[in-house]
């Protein structure tokens, strides 16, 4: 009887110690992983700080002229942070990039358009009637505001334009169909419906998810896409690093 | 089972490669299917059981037993549709001082592994960018090699597609493809159309812009035939006419691009609006199970709102 009681007691304490050890291991693993990510975060923050101060030689001179047109995609919840958006634009302009497209899915930036434009002297609101090359030759800053309606919905409207032309031409053969429905005709039709901006060289995405949230698909065939994290965590150093990374890229365009 | 959740750092847009380029070479010409059962690497604690295939009345059905996922992955959060831009075959070959063809053949081996994994882990659709419309400007020798490699792979794998329950669909501008390849594609698509385990969509001579244009052209024909009215044309109608209408899940949940490039290069432009983009430095022939698990983990940890807001 005593023996079985002793045995039960031993079993009890063994289980208890085992549980404690398991819990400790669990917390230890969590702590280690947390430390790793904390360290990575610190390293990123330090690197960003050093870049912003110009202490890292690699990032001192940027080949900015490689960016003719920059697009910034902002997640709609972040788009309400107008002060952050303005700060970001000021950084971009300070780097020498003057032609910028701002996109958010719900069109919140379009509603804040006047507030944003007020903060920049001599800025021109992008006019679709301009030719792309004329736009990019403008020495002053241009800003374009784009939302989801300028993407898929615009392509549908442009398709309607082409279709009306197709019907008007009394087209019967497939050749005429191919002439009217072509990539260049679609680009022209998009300009006609007011959604024909140039293809950006680089898109910076500010948001929690690494996706472009419906940015006009027709305009991003060869566009470089970089995810920057949430807008509230934006850093000047990270911006420079992203732009530097783009300027080192070489595109083969299929070759 | 440990279940860890932590903030994923997003300062870097590229996932740095953890391994050096592999020295030495294992090249398999052709695509040999040795059956679904294979010994799993010891680092993964999962049990792989062979799928058995019954062919009844011309339909292949696969009875799957439960396959345990690698640690950290959840079956409920698995993407339904994964798209891959298989970039880096040429660079992989150049690093090893091999001809480009060797890189493409090694790429086929990677694709085979990925198809197997997708089938085992419950991914419904895998779309791969095999050949872009812009690739036609490559040297003729390379283009001919790529098309013949594709033809050989289709021929050799036709039977195993049936056994594995894989449905094959090919999208892209078929007008430039050789007649023999076209007829083989039709045969494979017809033979595998009833398979349900995994749909493998191969984009050959594909362009995202071309996809939109051909959808508009199809709509025009339907208007001309009186099937639809001009006022009916909206983005939904265009989506119905895109080449990805061959699948129940036309929009990829996750796009993986290898070799370090951060762009989509005219692939599935319309369909990628809310797709999680995963860019990795690994070259495609080096992209293996570990890298795929990393991509899937990254996808499963993201907070995706699809344009909406948190309530």
Q: Where residue A251 falls among pLDDT bands split at 50, 70, 90? A: confident
Which residues lie below 8 Å from residue A52, measured CB to CB, with a gap of 6+? A235, A236, A237, A240
Strands (E), A166-245: 202-206, 224-229
- Same domain, yes or no: A40 and A138: no
pLDDT higher than 90, residue B297: yes
Same domain, A132 and A225: yes
Comparing CB atoms, the residue among A34, A180, A229 nearest residue B10 is A229
- What is the domain extent for residue A51? 1-60
**Number of residues assigned to chain A:** 255
- In this complex, do A181 and B208 lie within 8 Å of one another by their Cβ atoms? no
A131 and A241 housed in the same domain = yes
Question: Locate tokens 């996922």: which residue?
Answer: B69
Contact B123, B302 (CB under 8 A): no
Rounded (10°) CA dihedral B203, B208, B209, B210 = 20
Question: Residue A13 domain-assigned?
Answer: yes
Cα–Cα nearest to A45, from A234, A223, A221, A248: A234
User: A156 at the B interface (CB within 8 A)?
Assistant: yes
Asked whether residue A43 is assigned to any structural domain, the reply reads yes
- What's A224's domain CATH number? 3.40.1180.10
pLDDT of residue B52: 40
Average pLDDT over residues A88-112: 94
Q: What is the dihedral of CA B302, B308, B309, B311, to 10 degrees?
A: -110
Report the number of distinct structural domains present in chain A: 2
A1 with A76, same domain?
no
Residues in CB range of B276: below 8 A, 6 or more apart: A209, A210, A211, B79, B253, B254, B255, B298, B299, B302, B304
Whether residue A109 sits in one domain with residue A235 = yes
Are A71 and A200 a contacting pair, CB within 8 Å?
Answer: yes
* Closest approach of A106 to chain B, Cα-based (Å): 8
Name which residue leads in pLDDT, A255 or B159.
B159
Last residue of a domain, one of A9, A37, A60: A60
Q: How much of chain B, in percent, has pLDDT values that exceed 70?
A: 76
Q: Are A132 and A212 part of one and the same domain?
A: yes
Q: Is B225 a catalytic residue?
A: no
A77 shares a domain with A55: no
Q: Does the pLDDT value for residue A171 go beyond 50?
A: yes
- Mean pLDDT (whole number) for B203-210: 96
Instruction: Based on the fold, state whether residues A92 and A130 are members of the same structural domain.
Output: yes
Q: Enumerate the β-bridge partners of residue A226.
A: A204
Helix (H) or strand (E) holding B48: none
ipTM: 0.80
Whether residue A223 is contained in a domain is answered as yes
Mean pLDDT of B271-297: 95
Predicted pLDDT at B48: 35
Closest CA to A200 of A69, A92, A96, A72: A69
Note whether A72 and A122 are same-domain residues: yes
Q: Which one of B9, B220, B263 has the shortest CB-CB distance to A44?
A: B9
What confidence category does residue B25 fall into, taking pLDDT thresholds of 50, 70 and 90? Answer: very low
What is residue B33's predicted lDDT score, i.e. its pLDDT? 36
How many Cα atoms sit within 13 Å of B86 on the Cβ side? 26
Q: Please tell me the distance from the alpha carbon of residue A202 to that of residue A224, in angstroms, as a whole number.
A: 5
Confidence band of B306 (pLDDT split at 50, 70, 90): low
pLDDT(B1) > 50: no
More confident residue, A49 or A57: A49
pLDDT at B23: 37
What CATH architecture does domain B80-206+252-300 belong to?
3-Layer(aba) Sandwich (3.40)
B274 contacts in A (CB within 8 Å)? 211, 213-214
pLDDT at B125: 98
| Residue A79 forms part of a structural domain | yes
Do A116 and A242 belong together in one domain? yes
User: Is there a domain that residue A8 lies in?
Assistant: yes
pLDDT at A121: 86
Closest CA in chain A for residue B272? A214
- Helix H, strand E, coil C: the string for A81-147 is CHHHHHHHHHHHHHCCCCEEEEECCCCHHHHCHHHHHHCCCCCEECCCCCCHHHHHHCCCCEEEEEC
Specify the 3-state DSSP secondary structure of B171.
strand
- Mean pLDDT in chain A? 87
A255 contacts in chain B (CB < 8 Å): 134, 137-138
Is the pLDDT at B65 greater than 60, yes or no?
Answer: no
Residues of A in contact with B12 (CB under 8 A): 44
Entry pTM: 0.80
Catalytic residue, from B45, B54, B57, B87: name it: B87
Question: Nearest chain B Cα to A186, which residue?
Answer: B213
Partners of A48 on chain B (C-beta within 8 Å) are: 11
DSSP one-letter code for B66: P
Tally of CB atoms within 10 A around B12: 17
Residues A14, A139 share a domain: no
Is the pLDDT confidence value at B112 over 50? yes
pLDDT tens profile A199-250 = 999 999 999 889 999 999 999 999 999 999 999 999 999 999 999 999 888 7
The answer to whether residue A172 sits within a structural domain is no
Please, which pLDDT band fits residue B252 given cuts at 50, 70 and 90? very high
Q: Which residue of A has its CA nearest to B11?
A: A228
Same domain, A116 and A218: yes
Cβ under 8 Å to B: A residues 94-133: 105-106
């Amino acid at each position: 009887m005593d023996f079985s009681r002793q045995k039960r007691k031993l079993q009890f304490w063994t289980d208890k110690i085992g549980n404690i050890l398991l819990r400790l291991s669990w917390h230890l693993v969590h702590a280690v992983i947390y430390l790793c990510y904390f360290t990575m975060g610190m390293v990123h923050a330090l690197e960003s700080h050093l870049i912003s101060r110009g202490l890292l030689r690699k990032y001192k001179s940027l080949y900015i002229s490689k960016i003719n047109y920059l697009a910034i995609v902002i997640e709609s919840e972040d788009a309400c942070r107008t002060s952050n958006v303005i700060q970001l634009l000021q950084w971009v302009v300070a780097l020498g990039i003057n032609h910028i497209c701002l996109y958010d899915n719900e069109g919140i930036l379009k509603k804040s358009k006047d507030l944003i434009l007020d903060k920049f002297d001599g800025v021109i609101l992008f006019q679709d009637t301009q030719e792309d090359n004329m736009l990019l030759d403008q020495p002053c800053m241009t800003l374009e505001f784009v939302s989801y309606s300028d993407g898929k919905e615009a392509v549908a409207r442009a398709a309607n334009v082409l279709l009306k032309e197709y019907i008007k031409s009394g087209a019967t053969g497939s050749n005429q169909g191919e002439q009217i429905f072509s990539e260049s005709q679609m680009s022209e039709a998009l300009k006609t419906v007011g959604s024909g901006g140039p293809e950006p060289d680089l898109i910076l995405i500010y948001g929690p998810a690494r996706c472009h949230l419906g940015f006009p698909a027709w305009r991003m065939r060869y566009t470089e896409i970089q995810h920057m994290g949430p807008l509230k965590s934006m850093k000047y150093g990270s911006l420079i690093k992203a732009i530097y990374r783009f300027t080192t890229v070489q595109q083969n365009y299929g070759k | 089972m440990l279940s860890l959740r932590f903030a994923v750092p997003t300062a870097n847009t590229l996932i740095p490669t953890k391994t050096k380029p592999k020295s030495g070479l294992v090249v398999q010409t052709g695509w040999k299917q040795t059956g679904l059962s294979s010994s799993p690497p010891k680092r993964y604690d999962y049990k792989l059981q062979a799928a058995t295939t019954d062919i009844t009345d011309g339909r292949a059905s696969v009875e799957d037993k439960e396959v345990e996922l690698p640690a950290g992955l959840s079956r409920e959060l698995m993407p339904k549709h994964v798209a891959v831009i298989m970039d880096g075959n040429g660079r992989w070959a150049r690093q090893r001082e091999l001809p480009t063809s060797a890189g493409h053949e090694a790429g086929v081996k990677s694709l085979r592994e990925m198809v197997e994994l997708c089938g085992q882990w419950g991914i419904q659709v895998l779309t791969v960018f095999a050949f872009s419309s812009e690739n036609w400007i490559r040297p003729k020798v390379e283009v001919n090699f790529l098309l013949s490699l594709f033809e050989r792979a289709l021929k050799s794998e036709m039977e195993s597609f049936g056994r594995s329950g894989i449905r094959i669909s090919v999208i892209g501008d078929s007008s430039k493809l050789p007649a023999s390849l076209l007829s083989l594609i039709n045969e494979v698509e017809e033979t595998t159309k009833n398979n349900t385990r995994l749909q493998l969509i191969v984009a050959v001579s594909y362009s995202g812009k071309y996809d939109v244009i051909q959808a508009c052209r199809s709509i025009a024909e339907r208007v001309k035939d009186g099937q639809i009215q001009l006022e009916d044309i909206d983005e939904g109608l265009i989506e119905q006419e895109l080449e990805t209408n061959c699948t129940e899940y036309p929009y990829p949940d996750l796009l993986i691009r290898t070799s370090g490039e951060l762009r989509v290069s005219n692939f599935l432009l319309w369909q990628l609006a809310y797709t999680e983009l995963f860019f990795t430095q690994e070259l495609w022939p080096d992209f293996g199970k570990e890298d795929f698990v990393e991509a899937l983990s990254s996808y499963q940890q993201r907070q995706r709102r699809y344009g909406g807001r948190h309530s």
